[in-house]
Amino acid sequence: MTTISSSYDPVPELAHGNNYLTHTRGVLSWLFTLDHKRIGVMYLVGILGSFFLGGVFAVLVRTELLFQGEQVLTDDQYNQMFTLHGAVMTFLVIIPGIPAALGNFVLPIMLGAKDVAFPRLNLASFYLWTLGAIFFLAVLASGGLDTGWTFYTPYSIETNTAVIGATAGAFILGFSSILTGMNFIVSIHQLRPPGMTWFKMPLFLWALYATAIIQVLATPVLAITLLLLIAERTFQVGIFDPKLGGDPVLYQHFFWFYSHPAVYIMILPAMGVISELVSVFSRKHIFGYRFIAYSSIAIALFGFLVWGHHMFTSGQSNMMNMIFSALTFSVSIPSAIKVFNWLATMYKGSISLATPMCYALIFIFLFGIGGLTGLFLTTLATDIQLHDTYFVVAHFHYVMMGGTMIAFFGALHYWWPKMTGRMYSEMWGRLAAFLVFVGFNTTFFPQFVAGSQGMPRRYADYKEMYAGYHFVSSIGSYIMAVAFVIMACYLLHSLFRGRKAPANPWGANTLEWHCSSPPPHQNFDEQPAVGDCYDYSGLEYDTATDSYVPKSRTAVTT
Amino acid sequence: MAEETLTTAQSHGHGHGEHPPHLAHHFESPGQQFDACKFGMWIFLCTEVLMFSGLFCAYAVYRANHPEIFLYAHKYLDTNLGAINTAVLICSSFTMAWAVRAAQKGQQGLLIGLLALTLLGGFGFLGIKYIEYEHKFHKGLLPGAQYNPTVTPGDHGNGDKHAEMGDHELITSEHDAGNAHTAPPGAAPARHDEEPAVAPTGVKPTEQTGLEKTTLPQAAPPPAGRSMEHDHAHEHGMTGRPNNVHLFFGIYFAMTGLHGIHVLAGMAFIAWVLKRSIAGEFGPEYFTPVDLVGLYWHLVDLIWIFLFPLLYLIH
Ligand SMILES: [Cu+2]
């Protein structure tokens, strides 16, 4: 086997063919691989495919809402489209997006390890994800689903759409998520290299660790909830069915006990990505490392105590409403700590507006709006007015799409050279980022206004007074669609025609940039030295390769 | 392609020098691998506990809101059979723990015997559970809509001595009582099929069913200010059958059914470990699978130890 002569070799040794992509060949060598990098890439392909599918549903929904009256979908089809858009985007894209695809690729390398702790479980979790995705496709083919992604009882017990198929799919996806979480927790505990203490870990790993805790602790509750719902539909057990004396609000408690923490499964890895990007592209040590690390854990723990804010209008007692409201306000503290630390990191930094950094800045802006509008919904009095309106829709799209998906695309552009060994076009990258930003705000900002004026969510039609907002919103969704088509084009183009990626194009100092692009099969030929991963003083820009290399030995020692 | 896979496999095998046979390439030492596996198992057990916790929560909510259902319906369960099953599981947990020790000490014969005994315990448990389930299926002691009892509580035998005293009559009257239950005094009882329409997406199922205010059968909303708390003893009379007894069986079958599936899974794991120990794969250097299966089996046992008093021993 060939070895890489130096991890800092300015020219990647692709000629030798010893990287994880070329290590073995053939379709089977991918399908049965235990290599975390290949599993991450397979996840990525599946997730991007699901994102495309969910995006098509979204465009259909927005097209139906372009004008008043019926455009392209009947009312029933409309119900199914927004349900499938929500279910596909949540369960297939956003939840596994950053941890399972990018986290799988990066986590072991950041740890200087050869693989995750349980490679076979990792592959199993990928196949469970695939199986869950197949269930969703089957639901799509067999008449759809019209319950909304929350499967609220009693309607989900009564509707004759494919609730069992969809909930079984979500159950399987939950299993996949649990296995990934277990793998990450054990990997971070057991595989850290000598010298990497907890507080020397990159913040992305802290975020993945906090995420994994939620995945492991919350997902089983969703599993039992969905099992009970399936039992309800097949055997009329009666636990959630008011006709049989059951309690439908109990279902809501169970569902949100998972699904609120799931919101943090979605956003925490995104925050971890931003912590990396902001520091690297500001050429400055991350500000407030420990605060960011602890705030991830704090969010994970607080996230378990706030689920009741989804039921302010479901008949909870006032006392519970007040308690959940207060606890929900408190979650904004660790979130704000992160935002302020990112801003402080950028302060007086030497900011380079490379594509990943563009996404990081978009994230901070959109997440700021998403987070602050959440406070309106946490306030009991205003929530009565805003509950189930487009204000809520806009709020969670600002957090989920404007937060998680934007960070996902930032991370994708950041690690793309490492994963594929190719550089994409910066010019097109920035243009797409700009269009996503413009399209996103055009789509969702009007929804805040429409929602605050009473436009209810989930309706296939609307009154004259909301026509303008809906029209602008739909136009915005087309702008975003164009942006994503552009992104797909230049990324695919880079695979074939892109410049070969240097080992360290961004000048980052976490361990994945210490191996070649793409990394060799075993990640490292020898255990890499662990230092401060946010200290960039040891790197200098090399014009010949347009990348960063370690300062020459003499310069370092003097 | 095949050739290349072979060469890489070899290069792995040789590249790391003195690797023990069971050590995966990404671990430094067998000790690290064992720790990782055991830690992973504990995390998995946490997820199992949380999965059951959903059911325990449902149990707690219904027990707190409708204690009379539990007091009445638990008499349908046979405490003796439950107690025997508890003993069976505890014994099998003991043999399992002993089997782990035998594996650690390299006592092959003992290990195989103990694992076989543990497996036998699993079969015993499921056999007794089958007897209990079968009885309930026969007597209509089923959850939800299938609930149609042909026996009275406390009758676990085959004879239907007390039974059949106009059961159908009782059932219908129960339903009527159910409807009257939450209706305002004097108002006409609302029928099930006259439920208020629910929003198409089920966003607001009912306004009145907050967790702590759960009312039994859903009916017309009560007038404002009326307390939802009912004096159940008064409502049903001290001797009467409470409403919605079937909810107990919904919870009973959900909890014991999920537990039963876990027993089955545990038995499959034990059989797998048994097969491997007959092949002589375990010894003082490598006993991780026995240890992990043991942990899982203890959890299954532990969950039953909570289920038994919660379902069978209600006072
Ligand atoms: Cu929430």
Task: List chain B residues with CB under 8 Å of A181.
Answer: 43
CA A5 to each of CA A10, A77, A503, A525, B209: distance values in angstroms, whole numbers, following the listed order: 11, 59, 13, 9, 68
Residue B222's pLDDT band (boundaries 50, 70, 90)?
Answer: very low
Give DSSP secondary structure letters for A457-507: TT-S---GGGHHHHHHHHHHHHHHHHHHHHHHHHHHHHHHHSPBPPS-SS-
Name the token pair of A500. Answer: 């070969």
Q: How many CA atoms lie within 13 A of A286 on its CB side?
A: 31
Proportion of chain A above pLDDT 90, given as a percent: 66
CB pairs under 8 A between A and B: 208
Give residue A299 CA to ligand 1 midpoint distance, Å.
Answer: 12
User: Considering CB atoms only, which of A1, A182, A246 is closest to B247?
Assistant: A246
Give residue B300 CA to ligand 1 midpoint distance, Å.
Answer: 32
Name the token pair of A247. Answer: 């309690």
Neighbours of A226 (CB within 10 A): 24
Q: Look at residue A140 and tell me whether its pLDDT is greater than 90.
A: no
B94-B100-B104 Cα angle (round to 5)? 145
Are the Cβ atoms of B43 and A185 closer than 8 angstroms? yes
Task: List chain A residues with CB under 8 Å of B208.
Answer: 315
Name the token pair of A353. Answer: 């507006």
Are the Cβ atoms of B144 and A315 closer than 8 angstroms? no
Proportion of chain B above pLDDT 90, given as a percent: 38
CA A11 to each of CA A37, A109, A288, A502, A549: distance values in angstroms, whole numbers, following the listed order: 21, 20, 35, 6, 11
Give residue A395 CA to ligand 1 midpoint distance, Å.
Answer: 11
- Measured in whole angstroms, the distance separating CA A102 from the mean position of its chain's CA atoms is 9
Give residue A400 CA to ligand 1 midpoint distance, Å.
Answer: 12
Q: Look at residue B250 and tell me whether its pLDDT is greater than 60.
A: yes
Measured between alpha carbons, how far is A328 from B57 in angstroms, rounded to an integer? Answer: 22
Measured between alpha carbons, how far is A72 from A61 in angstroms, rounded to an integer? Answer: 9
Could you give the dihedral angle defined by the CA atoms of residues A429, A431, A433 and A438, in that order, rounded to the nearest 10 degrees? -170
Task: Give me the pLDDT at residue A236, please.
Answer: 83
Residue A141 has phi, psi (to 5 degrees) of -75, -25
Q: Which domain holds residue A352?
A: 21-557
Give residue A465 CA to ligand 1 midpoint distance, Å.
Answer: 30
Task: List chain B residues with CB under 8 Å of A521.
Answer: 8
Residue B158 has phi, psi (to 5 degrees) of -90, -25
Give residue B266 CA to ligand 1 midpoint distance, Å.
Answer: 36
Note whether residue A10 is domain-resident.
no
Measured between alpha carbons, how far is A452 from A388 in angstroms, rounded to an integer? Answer: 11
Per CATH, domain B30-142+245-312 is 1.20.120.80: yes
Count of structural domains, chain A: 1
Task: List chain A residues with CB under 8 Å of B32.
Answer: 190
Which one, of A224, A274, A280, lies nearest residue A251 by Cα?
A: A224
Task: Give me the pLDDT at residue B18, please.
Answer: 55
User: Considering CB atoms only, which of A114, A119, A247 is closest to B214?
Assistant: A247
Q: Of B25, B32, B48, B201, which to mutate for an interface test with A (greatest number of A Cβ within 10 Å)?
A: B201
CA B83 to each of CA B79, B261, B307, B313: distance values in angstroms, whole numbers, following the listed order: 6, 20, 11, 10
Proportion of chain A above pLDDT 70, given as a percent: 96
Q: Look at residue B260 and tell me whether its pLDDT is greater than 90.
A: yes
Give residue A310 CA to ligand 1 midpoint distance, Å.
Answer: 6
Are the Cβ atoms of B217 and A183 closer than 8 angstroms? no
Specify the range with the lowest mean pLDDT, choosing from A450-464, A475-489, B126-140: B126-140
CA B253 to each of CA A217, A280, A402, B55, B63: distance values in angstroms, whole numbers, following the listed order: 24, 55, 44, 11, 15
Q: What is the pLDDT of residues A54-85, one digit of tens each?
A: 999 999 999 999 999 888 999 988 988 898 89
Q: Are A203 and A292 in contact (CB under 8 A)?
A: yes
Task: Give me the pLDDT at residue A17, please.
Answer: 57
Measured between alpha carbons, how far is A471 from A361 in angstroms, rounded to an integer? Answer: 28
Task: Give me the pLDDT at residue A80, please.
Answer: 87
Give the mean model confidence (pLDDT) for residues B138-147: 76
Could you give the dihedral angle defined by the CA atoms of residues A365, A47, A447 and A265, in that order, rounded to the nearest 10 degrees? -60
Task: Give me the pLDDT at residue A124, please.
Answer: 95
- Measured in whole angstroms, the distance separating CA A29 from the mean position of its chain's CA atoms is 28
Pure H helices in A424-466:
426-452
Task: List chain B residues with CB under 8 Å of A155.
Answer: 198-202, 205
A176-A160-B59 Cα angle (round to 5)? 60
Q: Of A235, A253, A258, which to mutate for an interface test with B (greatest number of B Cβ within 10 Å)?
A: A235
Domain with CATH 1.20.120.80 in chain B: 30-142+245-312
Residue B5 buriedness (CB in 10 A; 0-12 / 13-18 / 19+): middle
Specify the range with the lowest mean pLDDT, choosing from A230-244, A284-298, A394-408, B154-168: B154-168
Mean pLDDT across chain B, nearest whole number?
73
A539 sits in which H/E element: strand A539-542
Note whether residue A2 is domain-resident.
no
Q: Of A237, A311, A388, which to mutate for an interface test with B (greatest number of B Cβ within 10 Å)?
A: A237
Give residue A153 CA to ligand 1 midpoint distance, Å.
Answer: 18
Q: Look at residue A293 and tell me whether its pLDDT is greater than 50.
A: yes
Q: Are A419 and A368 in contact (CB under 8 A)?
A: no
Nearest CA distance, B54 vs chain A (angstrom) = 6
Measured between alpha carbons, how far is A510 from A517 in angstroms, rounded to an integer? Answer: 14
A548 sits in which H/E element: strand A547-550
Q: Of B48, B51, B141, which to mutate for an interface test with A (greatest number of A Cβ within 10 Å)?
A: B51
Measured between alpha carbons, how far is B245 from B74 in angstroms, rounded to an integer? Answer: 10
Q: Is residue B286 classed as helix, strand or coil in its secondary structure?
A: strand
Q: Are B36 and A190 in contact (CB under 8 A)?
A: yes
Give the mean model confidence (pLDDT) for residues B79-90: 92
Which one, of B6, B116, B75, lies nearest residue B242 by Cα?
A: B75
Q: Look at residue B215 and tell me whether its pLDDT is greater than 80.
A: no
Taking CA–CA distances from B207, the nearest residue in chain A reads A315
Give residue A478 CA to ligand 1 midpoint distance, Å.
Answer: 29
Q: What is the pLDDT of residues A381-414, one digit of tens each?
A: 999 899 999 999 999 999 999 999 999 999 999 9
Task: Give me the pLDDT at residue A244, please.
Answer: 83
Taking CA–CA distances from B28, the nearest residue in chain A reads A191
Are the Cβ atoms of A244 and B247 closer than 8 angstroms? yes
Q: What is the pLDDT of residues A251-261, one digit of tens each?
A: 999 999 988 99
Give DSSP secondary structure letters for A352-384: ---HHHHHHHHHHHHHHHHHHHHHHHHSHHHHH
Residues lying with their CB under 5 A of ligand 1, a single-atom ion: A 260
Give the mean model confidence (pLDDT) for residues B95-114: 93
Taking CA–CA distances from B38, the nearest residue in chain A reads A186
Nearest CA distance, B217 vs chain A (angstrom) = 4
Residue B262's pLDDT band (boundaries 50, 70, 90)?
Answer: very high
Q: What is the pLDDT of residues A416-442, one digit of tens each?
A: 999 999 999 999 999 999 999 999 999
Residue B3's pLDDT band (boundaries 50, 70, 90)?
Answer: very low
Residue B154's pLDDT band (boundaries 50, 70, 90)?
Answer: low
Measured between alpha carbons, how far is A317 from B212 in angstroms, rounded to an integer? Answer: 8
Mean pLDDT across chain A, nearest whole number?
89
Stronger pLDDT, B211 or A246, i.e. the higher one: A246
β partners of residue A542: A547
Q: Look at residue B301 and tell me whether its pLDDT is greater than 90.
A: yes
Taking CA–CA distances from A191, the nearest residue in chain B reads B27
Residue B176's pLDDT band (boundaries 50, 70, 90)?
Answer: very low
Are the Cβ atoms of A254 and B54 closer than 8 angstroms? yes
Task: List chain A residues with CB under 8 Å of B182.
Answer: none
- Measured in whole angstroms, the distance separating CA A37 from the mean position of its chain's CA atoms is 18
Note whether residue A5 is domain-resident.
no
Q: Is residue A507 classed as helix, strand or coil in its secondary structure?
A: coil
Task: Give me the pLDDT at residue B87, please.
Answer: 94
Q: Of B211, B248, B252, which to mutate for an interface test with A (greatest number of A Cβ within 10 Å)?
A: B211
Task: Give me the pLDDT at residue A538, please.
Answer: 85
Residue B240's pLDDT band (boundaries 50, 70, 90)?
Answer: low
Name the token pair of A20. Answer: 């994880």
Measured between alpha carbons, how far is A289 from A228 in angstroms, rounded to an integer? Answer: 43
Task: Give me the pLDDT at residue A464, please.
Answer: 92
Q: Look at residue A468 and tell me whether its pLDDT is greater than 80.
A: yes
Angle between helices A248-282 and A203-235 (to 10 degrees): 160
Q: Is residue A195 classed as helix, strand or coil in its secondary structure?
A: coil
- Measured in whole angstroms, the distance separating CA A476 from the mean position of its chain's CA atoms is 22
Name the token pair of B303. Answer: 């969950």
Q: What is the pLDDT of residues A2-54, one digit of tens each?
A: 333 334 444 444 444 578 888 888 888 888 888 999 999 999 999 999 999 99
Q: What is the pLDDT of residues B5-49, one digit of tens each?
A: 333 333 333 344 456 777 777 787 888 888 899 999 999 999 999
Name the token pair of A191. Answer: 């595989």
CATH code: domain of residue A79: 1.20.210.10
User: Considering CB atoms only, which of B52, B57, B209 is closest to A248?
Assistant: B209
Measured between alpha carbons, how far is B196 from B190 in angstroms, rounded to an integer? Answer: 10
Which one, of A68, A442, A98, lies nearest residue A264 by Cα?
A: A98
Task: List chain A residues with CB under 8 Å of B179.
Answer: none
